[in-house]
Amino acid sequence: MYNQTGTFMQEQDLLKTILADLRRTSREYTTATTESSCPMVRTMFNDLTNDTLRLQGELFNLMQQNNMYSASAKAPRQDLDKQIQSAHQAQQKCQQFVQEKTVQTSSYGQVPNVSPRQPNYGNPYYM
């Protein structure tokens, strides 16, 4: 595992591994943020996501300055604008959907009085 100079990995390879781990970690924290129902937990994961993204950005910039990482080719502005427009449309549709459902829910008033189902402990297939 050690190379000829006695080091574990080449510095560039090690930094690329760390960079990839920071990307993966930020994705995992983002998922945890979006799935958190507790405001305190959501805030904690949001803060962790932001810190990880900051570290990832700093490491990327450091590697780029030292010619250890080359950025991909620039995307044409037209393609970016198209993606931004598509994202805005999807966001508007989501907001409309949520507003419609919020209005429908509030117009129903209270939830009907439905008795909760009792567990069927006698059923051998009950889990």
List pLDDT tens digits, range 87-109: 889 889 888 888 888 887 766 65
| Count of other CB atoms within 10 angstroms of residue 26 | 19
Tokens of 69: 């990482």
Range of the domain at 35: 11-95
Q: Is residue 76 one of the residues assigned to a domain?
A: yes
Q: Among candidates 8, 6, 5, 54, which has minimal Cα distance to 29? A: 54
Q: Is residue 121 one of the residues assigned to a domain?
A: no
pLDDT of residue 52: 96
DSSP three-state, residue 9: coil
CA distance 27 to 60: 16
Is residue 6 left, alpha or beta, with left meaning phi > 0 and alpha meaning psi from -120 to 50? Answer: left
Q: Is residue 2 one of the residues assigned to a domain?
A: no
The yes-or-no verdict on residue 18 having pLDDT over 80 is yes
More confident residue, 19 or 5: 19
Torsion of CA 98, 102, 108, 112, to 10 degrees: 80
Q: Among candidates 59, 74, 50, which has minimal Cα distance to 19? A: 59
Q: Look at the chain and report how many structural domains it folds into.
A: 1
Q: Is residue 109 one of the residues assigned to a domain?
A: no
Q: Model-level pTM?
A: 0.56
